[in-house]
Chain A
Amino acid sequence: MWKSLVAAVALVAAIGSVHAASAVNKDAETRTLVVTEGGSKTDLALAGGETVEFCPNGCFVTLPNGDLEALTGSETIEISGGVARIK
């Protein structure tokens, strides 16, 4: 009984989990991404070692080196040494 329940809950959790883009800052100092989402630009400051989920439905991001990138909302941005990579 419990096993079936756990299986059901796990299934629901797997289906229901929300996907969003995430950004990881592997550097020690704070890095800033500029996120354009839904008509407004916001600065997303990432402290050293911080991981942030953002942008569920697609957005534009200005990376620390000035590059502009479009995100669909399922990517992971990894910042290390001041350089951001999209995976």
Chain B
Amino acid sequence: MLFRLLRLILLLALVVSAPMSLDAAAQGLGQAPAGLVADQQKILQDLTTKTDNLEKKIQQDAEEDSSLVDIRLQLEELSRQSLNSALAFRTRLGEINSRLEQLGAAPAAGQPPEPDIVSGERQALVSEKAEINAVISQAQALSIRISGLIDKIGNMRSELFRNLLTKRYVLSDALSPQVFSDAQDEYTNLYKAVSSWLSFAFKFKFQAILAATFVALGLALVLLVGGRRLFGRVFEADPSNQDPSYLSRLSVAFWSTLLPTLAVAAFLGSTIFFFNYYNVLRGDIGLFLNALATAIGVVFCVNRLTNAALEPRLPNWRLIPVESGPARWLVRLATAMAVVISVNTFLSVINDKMGSPLSLTIARSFVATIVVGIILILMAMLRPFKARDGSWRPWPAWLRYTALALGLFTIVAALLGYIGLALFVSLQVVVTGTALITAYIGFLSAQAIGEEGAFANTTVGRWLSAKSSYEDTALDQLGLVVSVAINVMIVLVFLPLILLMWGFQPGDIQAWAYKLATGINIGSVTISVTGILSGIVVFIIGYFLTRWFQGWLDGSVMARGKVDTGVRNSIRLAVGYAGVALAALVGISAAGIDLSSLALVAGALSLGIGFGLQNVVSNFVSGLILLAERPFKVGDWIVAGDVSGTVKKISVRATEIETFQRQSVILPNSNLINNAVGNWTHRNKLGRIDIKVGVAYGSDVKQVHAVLLEIARSHPMVLKNPEPFVLFSNFGPAALEFEIRVFLADVMNGNIAQNDIRFAVLEKFSSEHIEMPSTPRAVVEAHKPKAWPTDDDKIEADFAEQEQIKAEAEAEKKRLVKSRKTKKPDPD
């Protein structure tokens, strides 16, 4: 009503402004393409008529579900078209708006009037805009109306479905002897139709039929043979294999179901396609053939699937561990169920097209549902497992009782006359059951792939390990990822599939998925899956970019620029921390989490955090200071308190030091900042070592001094400058004490130099007869040589053995020396 009023007003405005706009049109800037408004108006009128027709059709076909679905699809298309026709105005509207902006607002009452030309153009533009707005609002109204119709169709369909499930038929009518004569009539009709078509086809189209059949057969053969050649290894179960892995059993089951089914589908599909192509089909025969092909395809697929999963002949290849006899029965029962359902569906198509009486339809559905119910009960009563003592055990209770309940429910519903409900349940049992079993096998295969080492043994895994540099552990992780991906995919594929079968509309599912993806509002918080996912992805990408940049800066730029190792390390770490922090911030904001709302909480918490995490924060800050100040770098020999060793890693909280006994010591950074740290190799590796020597009272100290100085000077590692120095340090209680002080270029070599010098001192002293006193502590008994043995043979054998051990040790040592670089001993 409001809309109509608006339209009236707009129309009036148009009429009033028309003369002005004519004037203005002469000098208007960028006129509308001629007739844009008229064109779209015409299109919209056309769409409106179509909508009217469809609305009428909805009333006519209120009882037919399939035609309602069809109407719904057409309405959706109309809605899109109306939107598109409104879209056509976008550029023109943009032009008008920008021109209006250039012209500016009309002068107010007190201001000087503007030239006529300007006001005329403004008038023209405004009226054109009004015109366009009117057309768009027409389109909007149409789309609202179409949405209303679509909603109405949804309501009608659910009402129909409810009716189907709750409608009760009177069975005594349907199951009277009349049915048999009806069936007889119908059979005669069908026979006539098919035989007349067959005679027509053989008389006039025989060659076409032959050609079509052969082409279809050829296609199916190519698919089957090609598939066998390609996947032959995984396609067929190998009876000689006693213990096939679960994965290979699964892949055999999968491929041996998929390939033959595809071949049969290709054969049936192409046969019908070529029959259509050569115009062999007439009247309803095409529909019958389609239904027949679907029925054959479904039966074949179910049979292949149960055969592949149960393998009655090859117990080793069975997916579900039932015994052979029950497996055979299960295959037969499942196939029988598929046959019953398919035949029923096929006959329903024929009934529809032949216009058969309702009683026939009811009788057919009644028989089918009763048979399906009986098969379900039989399946439930089957005892498929064997206990250790040889007795047969039934299915697990929940499975048995579910199947029993479903079967009984179907039969009882059919007997009470609720044929629609019974048919619906039996159809769902077959179709949903098949989907669920397939999904379950998929889950099992995902589990099998996820097991340790399983992925590396698959074809893809072998190919990857041959073609790429992936390690075994990487392949294993990849297997885990693949298994998770398969699980997700199964949920994504089968959940909508089952929902679709249960009568939900694709539009509903899409809307749910969209809502889930873009965000669910809980209070004022919006949780959105895509937001969180994109946040994570952005963070991961940022993280790897940072790592790459770090590597590039360190490896290419700073290494070439001969930057000091310590500086390199500091810069690398700082860049890494900054990059990760940045990536985290960007990721959080990409996830749609508003940081400003966190600021308040952070402010309140920071005081508590400050107290609680005092140590951590102080270590963190100390770490930053260490990176900036660089009192030591990685590889330095430092002494901090009791700990002495090489620095391995400086991270943000603690520094890792490896002592010379190869013990890793993690020192909190604040210790290194607050306490004194000795660094032997800070600016250079120059260092002094002191060696104490005592000589006996009465020795010639001048000579001793000269000898020691000589030894110190002659050592190749000792620096000439600063000069080595021998200190006469003390008149000790037992000896005259000297100290050799030498400087080394690399203090890390201290032990070698000390050793050399001490050996040299002893040698020199003994040749110069200088005595070194020692305080005797304990009396040590010297070893006496063993008595001369008498058994020559034994000695010879022992000697040979010892020689051999020695030779082996020598060889071992040589090997070790060869394999390992000789390393200098650690300084203490």
Footprint of B on A, CB under 8 Å? 1-6, 9-10, 13, 16-18, 20, 36, 38-40, 53, 56, 58-60, 66-70, 72, 83, 86
Give Cα A51 to B7, complex, Å.
Answer: 33
Query: In the complex, which residues of chain B have a beta carbon less than 8 angstroms from the beta carbon of A2?
Result: 544
Query: In the complex, which residues of chain B have a beta carbon less than 8 angstroms from the beta carbon of A3?
Result: 544
Contact A10 B517 (CB under 8 A): no
Query: In the complex, which residues of chain B have a beta carbon less than 8 angstroms from the beta carbon of A38?
Result: 147
Which of A1, A5, A36 has its CB near the most chain B CB atoms (within 10 A)?
A1
Contact B90 A53 (CB under 8 A): no
Query: In the complex, which residues of chain A have a beta carbon less than 8 angstroms from the beta carbon of B151?
Result: 39
Query: In the complex, which residues of chain B have a beta carbon less than 8 angstroms from the beta carbon of A56?
Result: 514, 518
**Can you give 27 contacting A-B residue pairs, CB < 8 Å?**
A1-B470, A1-B477, A1-B478, A5-B481, A10-B541, A13-B534, A36-B140, A36-B144, A38-B147, A39-B148, A40-B144, A53-B518, A58-B80, A59-B83, A60-B136, A60-B139, A66-B133, A67-B97, A67-B129, A68-B86, A69-B90, A69-B93, A70-B84, A70-B86, A72-B83, A72-B87, A86-B94
Contact B540 A68 (CB under 8 A): no
Give Cα A57 to B103, complex, Å.
Answer: 36
Interface size on B, residues (CB 8 A): 39
Q: Whose C-beta in chain B lies nearest to the C-beta of A5?
A: B481
Q: Whose C-beta in chain A lies nearest to the C-beta of B471?
A: A1
Give Cα A59 to B87, complex, Å.
Answer: 10
- For the residues of B in contact with A, the DSSP-based class is helix
Contact B537 A70 (CB under 8 A): no
Given A9-B540, A60-B143, A83-B101, 18 new contacts (CB under 8 A): A3-B544, A6-B540, A17-B530, A17-B534, A36-B144, A39-B144, A56-B514, A60-B139, A60-B140, A67-B97, A68-B133, A70-B83, A70-B84, A70-B87, A70-B136, A70-B140, A86-B90, A86-B94
Query: In the complex, which residues of chain A have a beta carbon less than 8 angstroms from the beta carbon of B470?
Result: 1
**Closest 7 pairs (CB-CB, A-B):** A39-B147, A70-B86, A1-B474, A60-B140, A68-B136, A13-B537, A58-B83
Q: Whose C-beta in chain B lies nearest to the C-beta of A72?
A: B87
| Interface presence of B73 (CB below 8 A) | no
Contact A67 B139 (CB under 8 A): no
| Interface presence of B137 (CB below 8 A) | yes
Cβ-defined partner of A67 (8 Å) among B87, B133, B143, B478? B133
Give Cα A53 to B514, complex, Å.
Answer: 12
Q: Whose C-beta in chain B lies nearest to the C-beta of A70?
A: B86
Q: Whose C-beta in chain B lies nearest to the C-beta of A68?
A: B136
Query: In the complex, which residues of chain B have a beta carbon less than 8 angstroms from the beta carbon of A18?
Result: 514, 517-518, 530
| Interface presence of B533 (CB below 8 A) | yes
Query: In the complex, which residues of chain B have a beta carbon less than 8 angstroms from the beta carbon of A6?
Result: 540-541, 544
Contact A10 B537 (CB under 8 A): yes
Give Cα A24 to B94, complex, Å.
Answer: 18
Query: In the complex, which residues of chain A have a beta carbon less than 8 angstroms from the beta carbon of B477?
Result: 1
Give Cα A66 to B101, complex, Å.
Answer: 15
Give Cα A66 to B137, complex, Å.
Answer: 11
Cβ-defined partner of A9 (8 Å) among B86, B90, B537? B537
Give Cα A40 to B540, complex, Å.
Answer: 40
Contact B537 A36 (CB under 8 A): no
A30 CB, nearest partner CB in chain B, Å: 16
Give Cα A33 to B205, complex, Å.
Answer: 65
Query: In the complex, which residues of chain A have a beta carbon less than 8 angstroms from the beta carbon of B133?
Result: 66-68
Q: Whose C-beta in chain B lies nearest to the C-beta of A18?
A: B517
Give Cα A10 to B93, complex, Å.
Answer: 38
Give Cα A10 to B477, complex, Å.
Answer: 18
Give Cα A3 to B470, complex, Å.
Answer: 12
Q: Whose C-beta in chain A lies nearest to the C-beta of B150?
A: A39
Q: Whose C-beta in chain A lies nearest to the C-beta of B515?
A: A56
A43 CB, nearest partner CB in chain B, Å: 15
Give Cα A3 to B150, complex, Å.
Answer: 47
Contact B136 A69 (CB under 8 A): yes
> Assuming the A-B contacts A17-B530, A18-B518, are A68 and B481 also in contact, with contact meaning beta carbons closer than 8 angstroms in the complex?
no
Query: In the complex, which residues of chain A have a beta carbon less than 8 angstroms from the beta carbon of B517?
Result: 18
Q: Whose C-beta in chain B lies nearest to the C-beta of A41?
A: B144
A79 CB, nearest partner CB in chain B, Å: 13
B357 CB, nearest partner CB in chain A, Å: 41
Give Cα A52 to B518, complex, Å.
Answer: 11
Give Cα A3 to B474, complex, Å.
Answer: 11
Contact A20 B518 (CB under 8 A): yes
CB interface residues, B 805-826, toward A, < 8 Å = none
CB interface residues, B 65-104, toward A, < 8 Å = 80, 83-84, 86-87, 89-90, 93-94, 97, 101
Query: In the complex, which residues of chain A have a beta carbon less than 8 angstroms from the beta carbon of B148?
Result: 39
Give Cα A38 to B145, complex, Å.
Answer: 10
B309 CB, nearest partner CB in chain A, Å: 31
Give Cα A25 to B611, complex, Å.
Answer: 41
Q: Whose C-beta in chain B lies nearest to the C-beta of A2?
A: B544
> Assuming the A-B contacts A1-B474, A6-B540, A13-B533, are A60 and B86 also in contact, with contact meaning beta carbons closer than 8 angstroms in the complex?
yes
Give Cα A20 to B97, complex, Å.
Answer: 25
Give Cα A53 to B474, complex, Å.
Answer: 40
Query: In the complex, which residues of chain B have a beta carbon less than 8 angstroms from the beta carbon of A72?
Result: 83, 87
Query: In the complex, which residues of chain A have a beta carbon less than 8 angstroms from the beta carbon of B481?
Result: 5
Give Cα A86 to B91, complex, Å.
Answer: 10
Query: In the complex, which residues of chain A have a beta carbon less than 8 angstroms from the beta carbon of B101?
Result: 83
A80 CB, nearest partner CB in chain B, Å: 12
Give Cα A13 to B529, complex, Å.
Answer: 11
Query: In the complex, which residues of chain B have a beta carbon less than 8 angstroms from the beta carbon of A69?
Result: 86, 90, 93, 136
Query: In the complex, which residues of chain A have a beta carbon less than 8 angstroms from the beta carbon of B84?
Result: 70
Contact A68 B537 (CB under 8 A): no
B528 CB, nearest partner CB in chain A, Å: 9
Query: In the complex, which residues of chain A have a beta carbon less than 8 angstroms from the beta carbon of B537?
Result: 9-10, 13
Give Cα A36 to B148, complex, Å.
Answer: 13
Give Cα A10 to B540, complex, Å.
Answer: 9
CB interface residues, B 514-571, toward A, < 8 Å = 514, 517-518, 530, 533-534, 537, 540-541, 544
Which of A2, A67, A70 has its CB near the most chain B CB atoms (within 10 A)?
A70
- Write the B589-630 contact mask toward A (1 if CB under 8 angstroms, else 0): 000000000000000000000000000000000000000000
Give Cα A20 to B511, complex, Å.
Answer: 13
Give Cα A56 to B258, complex, Å.
Answer: 37
Give Cα A59 to B79, complex, Å.
Answer: 10
Give Cα A36 to B143, complex, Å.
Answer: 9
Give Cα A37 to B723, complex, Å.
Answer: 93
B812 CB, nearest partner CB in chain A, Å: 39
Q: Whose C-beta in chain A lies nearest to the C-beta of B80?
A: A58
Q: Whose C-beta in chain A lies nearest to the C-beta of B513?
A: A18
Q: Whose C-beta in chain B lies nearest to the C-beta of A16?
A: B530
Give Cα A23 to B391, complex, Å.
Answer: 71
Give Cα A4 to B544, complex, Å.
Answer: 12
Give Cα A56 to B143, complex, Å.
Answer: 15
B421 CB, nearest partner CB in chain A, Å: 32
Query: In the complex, which residues of chain B have a beta carbon less than 8 angstroms from the beta carbon of A59?
Result: 83
Query: In the complex, which residues of chain B have a beta carbon less than 8 angstroms from the beta carbon of A70?
Result: 83-84, 86-87, 89-90, 136, 139-140
